[in-house]
Structures are given as C-alpha cells and as structure tokens.
Amino acid sequence: QVQVVESGGGLVQAGESLRLSCTISGPTSLNSPINSPMAWFRQGPGKEREAFSCITQAGQYYADAVKGRFTISRDYAKNTLYLQMNSLKPDDTAMYYCAAVRFCTTRVSDISHARHDWGQGTQVTVSS
C-alpha cells in the first residue's frame, strides 16, 4: 500500500516563502506508484482539488498561476517530493497534497487522479 505524507505548511505573510515536502512509501516494484511521475495538488476554500505542478524524469510542468514562483523537485533516493514556494499570495491559501500520477502534461489541471489514496495534506495560509 503506497502512502504519502505531506509537511511544511504554515501561516505566512504575502511575499514570503515556504518549502513543502512529501514522502512516499510502499512497494518499489517497477509498476509501483513510487516510480510514477508525481504532482502537487491544492484545494482552496470552496474549490475543487486541482493539480498545479508535476514532475517526471524528463521535466517539470506548472500551471500559469504558479509558474515563475513555485519550483517542484524530487529526490529519488529519498523518495521525497518538494515544492519551493516563493512570492506567496493570499490566493495560494489552500490545503496542499502530493500524489503519484499516471502522467504529466502541459495542461497540468488535466491531471485529476492519484495512483493511491490521498494523504492528509498540509495547510498553507497566506495573509495579506
């Protein structure tokens, strides 16, 4: 059973930075979700959960709303996904989730399914 644990959220002021982490654990077979591309999703107040960044061994993908401010990275040896968030805005306030996904695409919002149960997420709150 693959599990993910997100951490690093908090309360910050607009313009500040946060770094989120996500550890993934479970079976490591070739077809395991651990060996899949991974994505960050977020769910703001009253909104649907939506992917905004994705990473494969070939590259990184970002939604326009976060492009230039957020950076996704992955340490394969540690099975850990990261999200460096700079220049945070109140609109970034959301619960943040990570997930192994079947594919990445330039239309990151088209990524909708995780290959495992969702983790508990980590809350990011940005005050103005």
Tens of pLDDT, residues 3-22: 999 999 999 999 999 999 99
Q: How far apart are CA 34 and CA 100, in angstroms?
A: 7
pLDDT tier, 100 (very low <50, low <70, confident <90, very high otherwise):
very high
Average of per-residue pLDDT across 86-114: 95
pLDDT over 80 (residue 30)? no
Give the per-residue pLDDT at 28.
78
